[in-house]
Each structure stands twice: as structure tokens, then as C-alpha cells.
Chains A and B, each alone.
Chain A
Amino acid sequence: MKSQARNDRHDSGRARRIRESAIRGFFFLNGIAAVLILAGIFLLLATSAVPAFREVRIGEFLTSAIWDPTSPTKPFYGILSQIASTLLVTVTAMLIAVPVGLGVAGYLSDVAHWRVREIVKPVVEILAAIPSVVVGFLGLVLLGPALAKLTGQSNGLNALNGSILLAIMSLPTIVSISEDSLNAVPVTYSEASLALGGSRWQTLIRVKIPAALSGIIAAVMLGMGRAIGETMTVLMATGNARAFPHGLLDSVRTMTSNIAVELGEVPYFTTHYYALFAIGLVLFVMTFAVNMIADVVLRKYQERER
């Protein structure tokens, strides 16, 4: 190392400048790669989706509820049932995860002793580390039979099962970002509320949560983005029936699980094959939009904090 440093010093200034900018250029290329990969994903998905629309009208693709690509008489390529199923399990998952997650975040930020917090936070993080296929497996062998017993259905593989699992999976995101934003609320806010005679509960509900709302919304959006794109859990736990869902106890097939079920069986380079990439493109656009909204909300909030 030492001799190398000496060599460096003996370089002429010009060689040194050239080498420095080459190194800088190398790191820049790595940085710009992220943009290229994102653009590449979109472009390659789009080019693989386009051939599907030689046979299927885009309007029909997005608004028809019938997906029957292997019909011998007339194949149908409508993904409305899948979109509805995705939204059903995602929204239900959020209805479960948001109150629970926010409750845990509120507990950690305002009630818990710091020792309890030090233990609970990493334990909740364990949930983020459990592979989705393991969660889906438990939906199949543990939650499914439990739900079947409760509802009298034969197997309990339905939208509710998937929603509960997705809620569990998005909890770490919701808890940690909500807790961060609750902690970021200036102490003066809580002090003012307490000085006016508010209880700690009132301070949390009426002062801190409203003040942290944009952070909490961002947390929910990020959790939702994950839930929309989650594959293995819904694939294994929701039963995968193709019909349009009418309730939480219906078996559903989301966009992600439809791709997972059919891509393995479909012959390459057929309309059916391209249509699966078109579903992927719709999925990409949906999650992109949700993440962008989360990003804008979070950014606004961080700017205000400054």
C-alpha cells in the first residue's frame, strides 16, 4: 500500500487526472445501470406484451372478466377478474394490517419501555425475513383448515386467507415506517398537547398521528405495493379459481398467481404466452404508480420536516 502511494505521487498530474476520471466514469456507469435496468424491464415487458394485442383488443383485455385462453372454440383474454381479485385481497389485507400495524407503531413510540422496544422491533423484523413461500405454505396447511372449520367451507383457500397472510407480510413495512414518522413528530407538539391537559392517549390520537399522517400514508402505500406484487402467498393460499370474486370467502386468482400458474404450461411465443407478459406489464404499471405516490407523499413530508 505504501509503495503504491509513493508511485501515485510520482505520477504526472495529467495521468493522474485521466485515471481519476476513468475511475469516476466506472462508478457512474454502475449508477446509471439502475436507470437502464428499470427502463429495460419496462421496454422488454412491453415488447413481449405487444404481440398479444394483434389478436386481443386492449379494451377487451382490461374490461372483460372472462379469462379462458385454452378454449378450443374461442379463447377469451379478459383480466378484469384477476385485477378485481388482486384489489380485493390487497385492500382487505390493508384493512387488517393498517389498524394493527399502526397500533403496534403507536405502542412502540408512545407506550413501550425502551427495553421492550429493543426486543419487539427485531422480533417484528423477523416477519420480513420469512420467505413468502413459507407463509403461503402455512396458509395452505394451517390457516386454511382453521378458516374451513370457522366458515364450514371445504378447504378455506380463499381471498380472506390470502388477505390475512398478506397483512402479516406487510406489517413490518407499515410498523417500521409508521413508527419512524411518529418519532419524527417534533417533541414540542406533544409537549404543547400535554401542557394543555391532554392525556398521552389524546396526544397520540389527536396530535401525533395527524402530524405523522403523510409518513403513515406512505407506509401504507409501500405495504400495498408489496401486497399487489406478492405471488407465492396468494398462489398457495387463495385457491386460484378463475371466476370473478363476489366476496372474501370466494376462491380467487390474482394477476400474479395467474402468471405463476400458466407460464409454466404455456407454449412459448403464442398469444396466450404474450398475454401473460401483458398481465406482467399491467402489474408493473400498477406497482410503479403505487410506489410513486408513496414516494411523493414521503418526500413532501421529509421536506416539511426540514
Chain B
Amino acid sequence: MSAKRKAVAEFLGFTLLRIALVLVLAAIVILLWDIVRKGGGTLTWAFVSQLPRRGMTEGGILPAILGTVLVTAVTAFLAIPMGMFTAIYLNEYARPSRLTRIIRLAIRNLSGVPSIVYGLFGVILFVNLMKFGTSILSAGLTLGLMTLPWTITASEEALKTIPNSYREGSLALGATKWQAIRTNVLPYALPGMLTGTVLGLARAAGETAPIMFTGAAFSLPFLPHSIKDPFMALPYHLYIMATQHHDLAKARPLAYGTALVLLLLVLGMNTVVAVVRARLRRKRRS
């Protein structure tokens, strides 16, 4: 191949790669822009602070926002401590063995289980067997199980960044293993563990399939009183407003508004994590 043809081939090839990138970036911009543009008009203080009115064609989405916050709190209650403890076991205690390999394999497979399958599991275990009914509790626990593999992985990543010399220094002074972990590992790993788990929670907050049958309700004109109550949630509310509402044309602006609030919530959590992480990294360097 002549040098010139080679240069042309390279130019064309790299152009293809650039086109691929432009396609992806265009998709992202179009997705976000459409929601912001058409949802922006609906997004007022009244929209996020009022109850729905007139068969959800007017009023706000306060119950859905509150429901998503409550269910995510239950999710955090299960997934954060359990994820951290499992990560501590895997990174600090577990030796390379067949059992450790099986545990790691199970975690990777858990993260691949479809969200609707978690929903089915939640219906059997929490709604029926444990008799929690369709409630914030059932939905939160279902989401918690789904989030667990993410919080484990994120916590372990944070533990891995702590140099071994920290542990060895403590052990050399006569500390037990747990003392070394408690005083010389966890305090330094904790910020990283928490930021990672918040990312998992953000994903859980946006999930619909696992909560559809474990507690999310079509429409409730009041706020939930306890965690044994069904609830409205932002992602499920968006699904309802987009497909199940009796007057789809009237509901469309509210659907866009709901999509925007959900997007702001999820991307907001992601942005906070990114900022905190950047700050942590700078602190570690100095």
C-alpha cells in the first residue's frame, strides 16, 4: 500500500470513529434537551410541593417525590451496611479459596439479574411470604437487594485504595485485625465507600420494574403514614402518566415535568458524588 493510500485510509478510519462519537454525544444532548425544554415549563415550586388534583391532570407530584425519598431510605438502610460489611469481609478477611471465588461470582451474577426478576422475587419473599404487603418496606427491601452488588463493589474499590502499610503499622504495634481495620482502614476508606454507595442509591431511585408490584401505587391523594403503606414513586408515576393515564394529552406536560424532576434527582446525586470525589482526590494528593 502506498504511503498516500495509507494516509487516506487512516483519515477515513479516524473519521468513522469521530462519527461514532458525534452520534453518541448527539443522542445524549437530544435526550437531555428534550426533557429540559418540555419539562422546564411545568417545573414550578407548586409542581414539587402540591398534591395531584383532578385525576392527576393538575397539581403537583409531592407524594411521588416523598415516596421515592422514603423508599430510597429503606434501600439505603439495607444496602449500605450490608454492602460495606461484605466488602470488608472480601477485602480484609477472605483468603483466596474456592468459597471466596464463589462469593465473588455470586455478586457479579446478582448485578446481572434483571430488575423485573428482583421485582418477582420481592413479590414472593417480601409481599407474600413475609406478609409486608405492597408497601414502602417491601419495595425498599427489593431495591436494597438489587443495589447490594453495586454497594459491595463500590465499597471494595474504596478499601483497595488504602495502602497495606496502614494495616501493617497498626498490626505491628500489637493491634488485633479488627482494631487495625477499625482505626487504620475504615476512617480513611469511609468517604470513598459512601460516595460509591450513593451512586448505587441514585440508580435504585430511578428504577421502576422492581417496585411496580411490590408497593408503588397508581395514585394516592395523600402522603404515606408508615412504611407499611403503598406509595407513589417518581419513576412509576412517570410510567403511569406516559402510558396509563385516562387523558394522555392532558397528562403529557406533567409527564415531562415528572421526567425532569426524576432526571434532576438522579443526575444531581451523581454530580454531588463526582464533586466530593474530586475534592477527596485533591486532599489525598496534598
Q: Which residues of A contact B (CB under 8 A)?
A: 1, 5, 8-9, 16, 19-20, 23-24, 26-28, 30-35, 37-38, 40-41, 44-45, 48, 99-104, 106-107, 111, 120, 122-124, 126-127, 129-138, 140-142, 168, 171, 175, 199-202, 204-205, 222, 225-226, 228-232, 235-236, 256, 259-260, 263-264, 268, 276-277, 280, 283-284, 287-288, 290-292, 295
Chain A residues near B208 (CB-CB < 8 A): 131-133, 231-232
Question: Please, how many angstroms separate the alpha-carbon atoms of A8 and B178 in the complex?
Answer: 11
- With contact pairs A44-B125, A131-B266, A229-B116 given, residues A37 and B145 touching in the complex (Cβ less than 8 Å): yes
Question: Please, how many angstroms separate the alpha-carbon atoms of A137 and B82 in the complex?
Answer: 33
Q: Which chain B residue shows the least CB distance to A203? A: B10
Chain B residues near A38 (CB-CB < 8 A): 106, 109-110, 113
B263 near A: Cβ within 8 Å? yes
Distance between B87 CB and nearest chain A CB, rounded to angstroms:
9
In B260-285, the 8 Å CB interface with A consists of: 262-263, 266-267, 270, 274
Q: Which 9 A-B pairs have the closest CB atoms?
A: A229-B114, A103-B20, A131-B206, A30-B85, A27-B89, A291-B112, A201-B10, A31-B89, A107-B17
- The number of residue pairs between A and B whose CB atoms lie closer than 8 Å in the complex comes to 256
Distance between B5 CB and nearest chain A CB, rounded to angstroms:
10
Chain B residues near A277 (CB-CB < 8 A): 120, 124
20 A-B pairs within 8 Å (CB atoms) are namely A27-B86, A31-B85, A31-B103, A37-B106, A100-B24, A102-B20, A103-B21, A104-B17, A104-B20, A123-B25, A130-B206, A131-B266, A133-B238, A135-B31, A141-B34, A171-B24, A228-B114, A229-B115, A259-B116, A283-B116
Size category of the B interface is: 35 or more
Q: Which chain B residue shows the least CB distance to A32? A: B103
- With contact pairs A100-B20, A199-B10 given, residues A129 and B179 touching in the complex (Cβ less than 8 Å): no
Q: A20, A28, A205: which contacts B178 (Cβ < 8 A)?
A: A20
Contact with A along B201-219 (1 / 0, CB 8 A): 0110011110011000000
Question: Please, how many angstroms separate the alpha-carbon atoms of A63 and B178 in the complex?
Answer: 56
Q: Which chain A residue shows the least CB distance to B121? A: A41
Chain A residues near B17 (CB-CB < 8 A): 103-104, 106-107, 111
Q: Which chain A residue shows the least CB distance to B100? A: A31
Contact with A along B170-195 (1 / 0, CB 8 A): 00001111110001000000000000
Distance between B184 CB and nearest chain A CB, rounded to angstroms:
12
- With contact pairs A130-B266, A231-B115 given, residues A44 and B85 touching in the complex (Cβ less than 8 Å): no
Q: Which chain A residue shows the least CB distance to B108? A: A295
Distance between B239 CB and nearest chain A CB, rounded to angstroms:
5
Among B6, B106, B116, find the residue whose CB has the most chain A CB atoms closer than 10 A.
B116
Chain B residues near A133 (CB-CB < 8 A): 206, 208, 235-236, 238-239, 262
Chain B residues near A102 (CB-CB < 8 A): 20
Chain B residues near A20 (CB-CB < 8 A): 176-178
- Per DSSP, are chain B's interface residues mostly helix, strand or loop, or mixed? helix
Chain A residues near B34 (CB-CB < 8 A): 138, 141-142
Chain B residues near A284 (CB-CB < 8 A): 113-114, 117
Question: Please, how many angstroms separate the alpha-carbon atoms of A145 and B241 in the complex?
Answer: 18
- Per DSSP, are chain A's interface residues mostly helix, strand or loop, or mixed? helix
Q: B90, B116, B152, B263: which contacts A130 (Cβ < 8 A)?
A: B263
Question: Please, how many angstroms separate the alpha-carbon atoms of A104 and B202 in the complex?
Answer: 26
Question: Please, how many angstroms separate the alpha-carbon atoms of A136 and B86 in the complex?
Answer: 34
The answer on a CB contact under 8 Å between B89 and A28 is yes
Contact with A along B19-36 (1 / 0, CB 8 A): 111011101101110110
Question: Please, how many angstroms separate the alpha-carbon atoms of A168 and B26 in the complex?
Answer: 11
Question: Please, how many angstroms separate the alpha-carbon atoms of A127 and B175 in the complex?
Answer: 46
Chain A residues near B20 (CB-CB < 8 A): 99-104, 107
Distance between B250 CB and nearest chain A CB, rounded to angstroms:
14
Chain A residues near B88 (CB-CB < 8 A): 27, 30
The answer on a CB contact under 8 Å between A231 and B209 is yes
Q: Which chain B residue shows the least CB distance to A120? A: B21
The answer on a CB contact under 8 Å between B117 and A283 is yes
Chain A residues near B113 (CB-CB < 8 A): 38, 41, 229, 284, 287-288
The answer on a CB contact under 8 Å between A288 and B112 is yes
The answer on a CB contact under 8 Å between B7 and A199 is yes
Chain A residues near B120 (CB-CB < 8 A): 45, 48, 259, 263, 276-277, 280
Chain B residues near A120 (CB-CB < 8 A): 21, 25
Q: Which chain A residue shows the least CB distance to B114? A: A229
The answer on a CB contact under 8 Å between B152 and A34 is yes
Distance between B19 CB and nearest chain A CB, rounded to angstroms:
7
Chain B residues near A106 (CB-CB < 8 A): 17
The answer on a CB contact under 8 Å between A138 and B112 is no
- With contact pairs A1-B183, A28-B93, A280-B117 given, residues A134 and B106 touching in the complex (Cβ less than 8 Å): no
B232 near A: Cβ within 8 Å? no
The answer on a CB contact under 8 Å between B243 and A103 is no
Question: Please, how many angstroms separate the alpha-carbon atoms of A204 and B12 in the complex?
Answer: 13
Chain B residues near A229 (CB-CB < 8 A): 112-117
